[in-house]
Every structure is written in C-alpha cells, then in structure tokens.
C-alpha cells in the first residue's frame, strides 16, 4: 500500500514537517500557535500518521481537570478500577498526546505537563503511586490561538519556554487553492473564487468580525458545492453564518459572495 495515500492530506507551507520530525527524534515537546482553522490539528494528524504513532487528542476547555488528562478511579461491578486518561495512555503506548487550545485549560491542569515537557520526561500519577517514564517515541504537542490570548487566558512563560514552537497562519492564495483542490477534489475555478472570498473577508478581521474566515470553512463550502449545492447558498451556510450572528454584517459579507459569483 502507498503510504502517501493513507496520510491525512496536508500541504506543507515551509519547514514545519522537518521541525516536527527533529523535535520528535530529539524527544522535545512542540507548541503550535496560529488562528482557528489554519491547519494545526490536521498537521498533527498528518505527522502522527507519517511517523506511525498513535495519536491522542484532547480538546481543552475551562472544566478540564488533571484527572481528565491523567486518569481516575472508577467504580464498577463492586470494585474500584483505575482508568488511564489520554495523556497517560499516550505515555504508556509511546504515542503523541495533542492538547488542542491548551490555554483554555485551567492553570492547575497544565502544570501536570511540566515533568513531561523537560528533560525528566516523566508522568507522576499520585493516585496510583506510579511514575511513568516516557519512551523515546512519546511526544507532547500543544496548540493555541494567540488571537484569543488575554491576561486571564495566556500561556505562562514558565510553560511556553519548555516547548519548541511553530507559528502557523492562513496559507497564501496558491497554496490555499491547492489545499481546497486536494482536500475536496473541487475544480480550480471554484477554489479560486472561494479563496478570493476568504481573502476579502479576512480584511474585515478586527473590524466587523471577531474571527477570520478559516481554511476549514472554505473546505466546508467547497464540499457542499461539489455535492450539488448552489455556490452562494453554500458560502452563506458554510462561511457567512459561521462568522457572524449580526444580520447587517452577514448582509455585507453576502455582498462579497454575490459579487464573486456574479449575482
């Protein structure tokens, strides 16, 4: 079987694949920062498949606890059983643990990462008394969107400086067109129009929109059009309504969509 055919589609922007591979080979943790929907999660999935490693993904949130990551005792069938969390499973199996939007997690939760993110590479499990040593194949990867950072939800320097870091951004026109075609199989004309819309909408970031139009939303729109939906309808459902709740702003965005498709 062709290995390339089994990998999640990913079109490299620069040297991020090389940096990821070197970080993994040298047992270094990796931090990826970039806007929502720019390909961070897809990149990690691609690299896990490329390296042949199991991937354990955690979507971080305000209520995430250390026990959610490490594990907890559960009661079943009249006895208490220990159940590993995704971080512990990744350490035991020598895989990649990926914490998406890590700054959303509580600070007391992310502290559990510190022993794994330095030269100790250990995971103490207080509730079982174990101290797991991470095998060479284990890798800790975290990501966040710097645009969301504030005084309450920033990454502490003592945590950030434990990681090798990559900065992601939305791709340039030619690359984004290639991504849309590779991801959805849509024709070049549709890909060019959708990318033109996204670039126009991204100029409105921080003015009328809280979030920029992501590559992910373009993929959604292209998928709907390829399935037979009218392009303008697809753009409204997959892009415009996902970017704003304000009726007037949505109307302004639809003017860009209509102009692009000659309506």
Higher pLDDT, 151 or 253: 253
Residue 4 has pLDDT above 60, yes or no: no
Q: Whole-number mean pLDDT of the chain?
A: 90
- pLDDT for 151: 44
Using the CB atoms, write b or e for 176-204: b if 16+ within 10 Å: bbbbbbebbebeeebbbbbbebbbbbeeb
Higher pLDDT, 156 or 127: 127
CA distance 105 to 112: 11
pLDDT digits (tens, 9 = 90+) for 150-175: 545 667 788 888 999 999 999 999 99
| Alpha-helix residue ranges (DSSP H) falling in 170-246 | 173-184, 188-202, 215-226, 231-235, 241-243
In the chain, what are the domain boundaries? 3-167, 173-260
Confidence of residue 110 (pLDDT cuts 50, 70, 90): confident
Taking a C-beta distance cutoff of 8 angstroms, is the pair 42, 8 a contact?
Answer: yes
- pLDDT for 106: 82
The CATH number assigned to the domain with range 3-167 reads 3.40.50.300
Residue 215 has pLDDT above 90, yes or no: yes
- Which range (51-65, 112-126, 145-159, 169-183) has the least confidence? 145-159
- pLDDT for 152: 52
Higher pLDDT, 74 or 57: 57
Query: How many residues does the structure list for the chain?
Result: 263
Helix (H) / strand (E) element for 98: namely strand 96-100
pLDDT digits (tens, 9 = 90+) for 220-243: 999 999 999 999 999 999 999 999
pLDDT digits (tens, 9 = 90+) for 189-212: 999 999 999 999 988 765 567 788
CA distance 160 to 216: 26
């Amino acid at each position: 079987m062709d290995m390339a055919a089994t990998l999640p589609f990913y079109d490299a922007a620069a040297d991020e694949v090389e940096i990821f591979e070197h970080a993994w080979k040298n047992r270094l943790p990796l931090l990826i920062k970039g806007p929502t929907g720019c390909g961070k999660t897809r990149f990690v999935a691609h690299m896990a498949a490329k390296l042949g490693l199991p991937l354990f993904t955690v979507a971080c949130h305000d209520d995430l606890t250390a026990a959610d990551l490490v594990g907890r005792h559960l009661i079943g069938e009249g006895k208490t059983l220990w159940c590993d969390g995704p971080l512990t499973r990744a350490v035991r199996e020598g895989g990649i643990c990926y914490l998406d939007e890590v700054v959303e997690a509580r600070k007391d939760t992310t502290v559990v990462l510190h022993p794994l993110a330095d030269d100790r590479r250990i995971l103490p499990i207080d509730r079982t008394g174990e101290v797991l040593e991470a095998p060479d194949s284990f890798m800790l990867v975290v990501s966040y969107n710097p645009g969301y950072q504030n005084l309450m939800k920033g990454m502490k320097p003592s945590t950030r400086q434990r990681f090798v870091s990559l900065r992601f951004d939305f791709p340039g026109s030619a690359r984004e067109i290639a991504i849309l075609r590779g991801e959805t199989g849509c024709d070049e004309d549709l890909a060019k129009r959708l990318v033109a819309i996204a670039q126009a909408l991204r100029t409105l970031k921080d003015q009328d929109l809280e979030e920029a139009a992501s590559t992910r939303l373009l993929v959604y729109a292209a998928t709907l059009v390829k399935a037979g939906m009218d392009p303008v309808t697809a753009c409204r459902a997959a892009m415009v309504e996902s970017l704003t709740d304000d009726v007037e702003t949505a109307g302004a965005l639809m003017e860009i969509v209509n102009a692009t498709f000659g309506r």
